[in-house]
C-alpha cells in the first residue's frame, strides 16, 4: 500500500497544471475515401489493417469498417485467426473531430463500440494486435479487446483521455486494471502516462516485443498458436488474477482522496475512478455501463470543451501563414552556442545537450565559466538522482558541452542564443560581435523576456536572422518556447527555429515583437490588479488562495517571491513604461524591495520562508502595505468574495490577451492560450485566457471591466475594442 500511496501522490498533478505535453494524437487531414480497413488472408490468418493515415484515428466510419471486416473474417471458415494492425502507426485514439455533444448520438456510438469490442473478445477465433509506434486512447482499448498484443521496441501505450476532460470510453476502465493491476491502471489513467515497450512487457500489458521487421510474422505466429489452443485465450474482461477486491478498493479510496485535493475543480478524474470501482465491486458489465454513463456526463461540459480546445491549440502553433506554407524544410541544428551561464543560460544549454546538440558556453571570465558548467552538470545529474538517466548517459550528454572564453570555431555554429543580463547596450554589443564571428547562415537569437528584438539588432546588418527565443525557467523543463519574429526575418529562419523547438521537444508559439511579447505582457495586468487589491485592504494571502483555487499553480505573491521582488520591479517597470496609458503603477513591490524583502532568496518577501516553505507573515508586512497605501494616496477599502477576486485578476489577463490578438502579434487566439498554459501554468481545463473569456461570456467580462473602470477610474480595467465588439456579437 505504501507504494500505491507514493505513486498516487502525484497522479493528478499535470491534469490541474496543464504543464505537460498532451499525448493523444489525431489526424490533421480527413480520412481517405478508399478502404478504411484493408483485409488480407494468408495461411489461415486474416490480416486487418487500419488504413486512415496519419494516425488511424478511430472515427465512426473506421470503427464500422473494422467491425465489418472482423465479422467477415470471423465467419470465414478458411480463417483460423485474426491479426489487427495499422498502416504506419497502430492507432492514436478516437477521432476527436467526431466528438458529439448530442447525448443520444454519443450513447449510441459508445454502446456500439462496447458491443463490438466485447464480441471480438468473447469470440472463438483468436485476435492478436500487432502494434508499432503507439496505441493510445481508443487504440489501446481496441488492442486490449484482443487476446494478445505484440509490439515493437519503440512503441508507447497509454490512455490519455483525461487530457481532454473525458475518461476512457471504449472499455479502458475495465480492461486495463484486469491486465496490469489496479494500482498501475490508476496511475496510467490519472496521469495520462504512456508506458514504453519494456515496461509494457514487464506489467503484462503486452505478450511480446519483437523487431519491427518481424512484427506481422510474429503476430501471425502467435495467433495460430492460440488457434491451436483455444482454451488458452485470455479475455481481458474475465481476468481476475490481478484483482484483489480489498486491496483494489483501498487503492481507489486513497486515489479518490488525492484527486479531491489536487483536481477538485474537474470531474473527470473521479469519474474514471468511479467506473473502475463499479467494475471491481459489481463486475465488468456494470463497470462498462458506468463508463458509458460517466462519458455522457463529460461530453459538452465546459471542462471538456476547454481541454479539447487546448488540445487543438497545441497542434496548431506550428502552422504560421506566410512561413510554414512555403514548402521550406528546417535545417538540422547540430551545433549551438549560448552566451551566459546563469540560471537561464545553463537551463538552455541543458535543453540543447539533452537533445544531442553540441553546445558552446561562453562567459566573460573563468570564474563565471566554471559556475556555468557546474550549473549544467547539476541539471544533468538531477536526472541521474531521479533515476531517469544513467551516470554513463549523463557523462555522454555532458561531453557535448564546450566551455569557452572566446569565439573560436563559431563560424560553423548553427544558432547562437544570447542569455546575458537584460541590458540594451550590452546586448547590442554582443550582437555586433556575433555578426563578425559567425557564419552568414547562423541564427542569432536573444532570450530576452522584455527588450525589443529590433532594438537589440539595430547595430548590425543581419536583421533577417536575428530573432527572439524566449525560454521559460527552468528552460530544460518548461515546455513553452516563444519565438519572437520581426518584419525583417526570413521565413527560413523562422522555420529553422520551429524545427529547433521540435528537436527540443517544446511547444513553440511564434509571436510578434512587442514589449513583454505575449506571455509576460498578458500577465502584467494580473500582477497590477493584485497589487491594486492589496493597497485597498484585501489580504494578499487570501488573494493567493483564491487564485490557487482557480487552478493556478501559485498565487501572484508566491510567484513574486519565487521570481524575486527586485526582478518584478525591473520587469514591471519596463512593461509599465511600454504601456503607460493603462498600467497601474503600484509602489507595493518597490516598497518591499527597499525593505530588503526580495522573496525566497532573502528568506522574506510577501511571505517568510522556512526552508522552501512559504509561511504568512502578516505582522511584518502590514507596515509595508500601509506605506504603499500612503505612497499611492489610497484611502478606500474594498470588500470582495473569492470569486470576485478571481475575476478581478483574471479578466484583465483576458482583456490584454485580446489586445495582443487585435494588434496582430499572434496568428490565432489559441496561440495566446498555449502561452498562458505552458508559460505561466494557467489551468488547461479552463482553456487559457481567450477560451476562459469565451466561456465566461464576452459580454459578462466586458461588463465587469466597464463596471470597475467606472468605479475605480483607472484605465487598467478599460475593455479593449476587440472585447467590446465580441460582447456585442454575443
Environment class of 505 (CB within 10 Å of its CB; exposed 0-12, middle 13-18, buried 19+): exposed
Residue keyed to cell 485578476: 649
What letter does residue 715 receive in the DSSP assignment? G
Residue 529: other Cβ atoms inside 10 A: 26
Residue 377, CA distances (Å) to 215, 364, 471 in order: 40, 19, 19
Q: What CA–CA distance (Å, rounded) separates 561 from 563?
A: 6
Verify whether residue 535 is a known catalytic residue.
no
Residue 559, CA distances (Å) to 229, 472, 528, 573, 613 in order: 62, 14, 13, 17, 13
Residue keyed to cell 479502458: 172
Q: What CA–CA distance (Å, rounded) separates 420 from 17?
A: 30
Please, how many CA atoms are within 13 Å of residue 674, restricted to the half-sphere of its CB?
28
Environment class of 68 (CB within 10 Å of its CB; exposed 0-12, middle 13-18, buried 19+): middle
Strands (E), 545-669: 607-610, 613-616
Q: Which of 25, 67, 141, 218 is catalytic?
A: 141
> Which cell goes with 342?
546563469
Torsions phi, psi of 471, nearest 5? Answer: -85, 160
Quick check: 167 and 298 in contact, CB under 8 A? yes
Q: What CA–CA distance (Å, rounded) separates 643 from 547?
A: 9
What is the per-residue burial (b if ≥16 Cβ within 10 Å, else e) of 273-297? Answer: bbbbbbbbeeebeebbbbbbebbee
Q: Which of 152, 119, 150 is nearest to 133 (CA)?
A: 152
Question: What separation, in Å, do the N-terminal and C-terminal C-alpha atoms of the chain show?
Answer: 52
What is the per-residue burial (b if ≥16 Cβ within 10 Å, else e) of 124-163? Answer: ebbbbbbbbbbbbbbbbbbbbbbbbbbbbeebbbbbbbbb
| Pairing of β 415-418 and β 335-339 | parallel
Verify whether residue 161 is a known catalytic residue.
yes
Q: What CA–CA distance (Å, rounded) separates 624 from 629?
A: 9
Residue 42: other Cβ atoms inside 10 A: 9
Residue 227, CA distances (Å) to 179, 232, 233, 626, 725 in order: 21, 9, 9, 81, 66
Residue 304: other Cβ atoms inside 10 A: 22
Please, what is the angle between helix 669-680 and helix 642-662, to 10°?
130
Q: What are the residues facing 84 on neighbouring strands?
A: 48, 129
What letter does residue 283 receive in the DSSP assignment? -
Residue 107, CA distances (Å) to 137, 169, 273, 295 in order: 18, 10, 20, 8
Helix (H, G, I), strand (E, B) or coil at 147: coil
Q: Which of 67, 121, 161, 418 is catalytic?
A: 161
Active site residues: 141, 161
Amino acid at each position: 500500500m505504501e507504494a500505491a500511496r507514493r505513486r498516487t501522490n502525484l497522479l493528478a498533478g499535470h491534469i490541474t497544471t496543464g504543464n505537460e505535453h498532451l499525448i493523444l494524437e489525431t489526424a490533421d487531414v480527413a480520412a481517405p475515401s478508399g478502404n478504411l480497413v484493408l483485409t488480407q488472408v494468408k495461411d489461415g490468418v486474416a490480416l486487418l489493417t487500419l488504413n486512415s493515415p496519419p494516425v488511424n484515428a478511430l472515427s465512426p466510419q473506421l470503427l464500422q469498417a473494422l467491425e465489418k471486416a472482423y465479422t467477415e473474417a470471423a465467419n470465414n471458415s478458411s480463417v483460423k485467426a485474426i491479426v489487427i494492425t495499422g498502416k504506419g502507426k497502430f492507432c492514436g485514439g478516437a477521432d476527436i473531430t467526431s466528438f458529439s455533444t448530442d447525448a443520444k448520438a454519443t450513447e449510441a456510438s459508445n454502446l456500439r463500440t462496447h458491443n463490438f469490442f466485447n464480441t471480438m473478445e468473447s469470440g472463438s477465433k483468436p485476435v492478436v494486435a500487432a502494434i508499432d509506434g503507439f496505441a493510445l486512447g481508443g487504440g489501446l482499448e481496441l488492442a486490449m479487446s484482443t487476446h494478445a498484443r505484440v509490439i515493437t521496441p519503440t512503441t508507447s501505450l497509454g490512455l490519455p483521455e483525461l487530457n481532454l476532460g473525458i475518461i476512457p470510453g471504449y472499455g479502458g476502465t475495465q480492461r486495463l486494471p484486469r491486465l496490469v493491476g489496479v494500482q498501475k491502471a490508476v496511475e496510467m489513467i490519472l496521469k495520462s502516462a504512456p508506458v514504453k515497450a519494456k515496461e509494457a512487457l514487464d506489467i503484462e500489458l503486452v505478450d511480446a516485443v519483437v523487431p519491427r521487421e518481424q512484427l506481422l510474422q510474429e503476430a501471425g505466429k502467435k495467433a495460430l498458436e492460440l488457434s491451436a489452443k483455444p482454451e488458452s485465450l485470455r479475455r481481458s474482461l474475465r481476468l481476475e488474477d490481478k484483482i484483489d477486491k480489498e486491496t483494489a478498493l483501498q487503492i481507489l479510496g486513497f486515489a479518490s482522496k488525492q484527486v479531491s485535493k489536487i483536481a477538485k475543480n474537474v470531474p473527470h478524474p473521479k469519474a474514471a475512478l468511479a467506473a473502475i470501482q463499479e467494475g471491481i465491486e459489481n463486475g465488468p458489465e456494470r463497470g462498462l455501463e458506468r463508463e458509458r454513463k460517466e462519458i455522457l456526463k463529460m461530453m459538452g461540459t465546459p471542462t471538456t470543451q476547454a481541454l479539447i480546445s487546448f488540445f487543438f491549440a497545441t497542434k496548431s502553433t506550428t502552422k504560421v501563414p506566410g512561413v510554414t506554407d512555403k514548402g521550406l524544410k528546417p535545417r538540422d541544428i547540430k551545433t549551438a552556442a549560448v552566451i551566459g551561464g546563469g540560471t537561464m543560460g545553463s537551463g538552455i544549454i541543458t535543453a540543447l545537450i539533452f537533445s544531442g546538440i553540441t553546445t558552446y558556453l561562453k562567459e566573460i571570465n573563468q570564474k563565471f565559466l566554471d559556475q556555468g558548467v557546474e550549473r549544467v552538470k547539476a541539471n544533468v545529474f538531477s536526472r541521474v538522482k531521479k533515476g531517469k538517466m544513467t551516470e554513463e548517459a549523463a557523462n555522454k550528454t555532458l561531453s557535448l558541452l564546450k566551455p569557452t572564453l572566446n569565439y573560436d570555431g563559431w563560424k560553423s555554429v548553427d544558432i547562437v542564443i544570447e542569455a546575458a543580463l537584460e541590458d540594451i547596450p550590452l546586448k547590442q554589443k554582443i550582437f555586433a560581435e556575433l555578426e563578425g564571428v559567425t557564419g552568414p547562415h547562423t541564427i542569432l537569437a536573444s532570450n530576452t523576456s522584455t527588450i525589443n528584438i529590433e532594438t537589440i539588432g539595430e547595430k548590425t546588418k543581419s536583421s533577417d536572422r536575428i530573432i527572439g527565443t524566449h525560454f521559460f525557467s527552468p528552460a530544460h523543463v518548461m515546455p513553452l518556447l516563444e519565438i519572437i519574429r520581426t518584419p525583417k526575418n526570413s521565413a527560413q529562419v523562422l522555420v529553422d527555429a520551429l524545427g529547433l523547438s521540435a528537436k527540443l521537444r517544446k511547444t513553440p508559439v511564434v509571436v510578434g515583437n512587442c514589449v513583454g511579447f505575449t506571455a509576460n505582457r498578458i500577465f502584467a495586468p494580473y500582477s497590477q490588479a493584485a497589487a491594486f487589491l492589496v493597497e485597498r485592504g484585501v489580504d494578499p494571502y487570501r488573494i493567493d488562495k483564491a487564485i490557487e483555487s482557480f487552478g493556478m499553480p501559485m498565487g501572484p505573491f508566491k510567484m513574486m517571491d519565487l521570481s524575486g521582488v527586485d526582478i518584478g520591479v525591473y520587469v514591471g517597470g519596463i512593461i509599465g513604461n511600454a504601456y503607460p496609458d493603462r498600467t497601474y503603477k503600484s509602489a507595493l513591490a518597490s516598497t518591499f524591495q527597499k525593505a530588503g524583502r526580495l522573496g525566497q532568496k532573502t528568506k522574506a518577501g510577501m511571505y517568510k520562508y522556512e526552508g522552501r516553505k512559504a509561511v504568512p507573515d502578516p505582522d511584518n508586512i502590514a507596515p509595508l502595505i500601509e506605506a504603499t497605501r500612503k505612497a499611492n494616496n489610497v484611502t478606500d477599502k474594498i470588500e470582495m468574495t473569492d470569486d470576485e477576486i478571481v475575476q478581478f485578476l483574471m479578466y484583465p489577463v483576458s482583456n490584454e490577451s485580446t489586445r495582443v490578438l487585435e494588434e496582430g502579434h499572434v496568428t490565432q487566439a489559441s496561440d495566446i492560450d498555449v502561452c498562458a498554459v505552458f508559460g505561466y501554468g494557467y489551468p488547461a481545463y479552463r482553456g487559457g485566457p481567450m477560451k476562459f473569456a469565451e466561456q465566461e461570456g464576452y459580454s459578462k467580462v466586458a461588463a465587469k471591466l466597464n463596471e470597475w473602470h467606472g468605479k475605480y477610474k483607472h484605465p487598467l480595467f478599460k475593455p479593449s475594442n476587440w472585447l467590446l465588439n465580441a460582447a456585442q456579437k454575443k
